[in-house]
Amino acid sequence: MEYINCQRELLSIPVVVVSNYMQRDKYAVATFTDVIIENIKKSHAKFNMKNVIYQSDGTGKYFKQKFSLCLGTIMHDNFQWHFTATSHGKGAIDGLGGTIKCRVREATRSRNIDPRTAEEFVDCTKRLCPKIIVLYVLQETVTKKKQKLEEIWMPNDEEINTRLKSTSWNTLFVKRRHRAKTPTQDGKQTCIGHS
């Protein structure tokens, strides 16, 4: 779900990412986040994105990790990540995925459609759920992003120079500091850590 603060009114826009990349790893999180942010910038160009707030349903291993928090510091100057209690499939985010799967399953049972690939699933979803923005990410896109991120991340845990500050039980604020891999790479944003 994407929310936009427009003249002190919070607009909610349902967004779902579908991919043929079958891993649930840090590279998928990074790529999907990037695709969602780029979609917001493209579709709402008149808005100046000053603050990005992530919300995760539960603090599962896919989201609560150094990599994702460092990624936020690289992608955005000002961001927050809110972790809420898991709702075991009953949250707003789960509801979007459940809605599109249910609608496609209904159409499949009535023999109107027969999606066999992720691309066909996306096409069906766009026709059946026109009010939900469906973004498709190719496996190759995730692989390219993975290569770029591997160049940025430094796997030395002793060198971590990112300060995490917990202000409440469910919010983490991250302050970015810069540290180059070598003295010759001074000024380049570098994030250290891996999962």
**What is the rounded distance in angstroms from the CA atom of residue 122 to the CA atom of residue 172?**
34
Helices (H), 51-185: 66-75, 92-109, 118-128, 139-152
**161 has a pLDDT exceeding 60:** no
**183 has a pLDDT exceeding 60:** no
46 pLDDT band (50/70/90 cuts)? confident
> Phi/psi of residue 6, each to 5°?
-120, 110
Can you name the residues that pair with 5 across neighbouring β-strands? 10
**58 has a pLDDT exceeding 70:** no
Report the chain's mean pLDDT, rounded to a whole number. Answer: 73
Instruction: Quote the pLDDT of residue 126.
Output: 94
Q: Each residue of 20-36: b (16+ CB within 10 Å) or e?
A: bbeeeebbbbbbbbebb
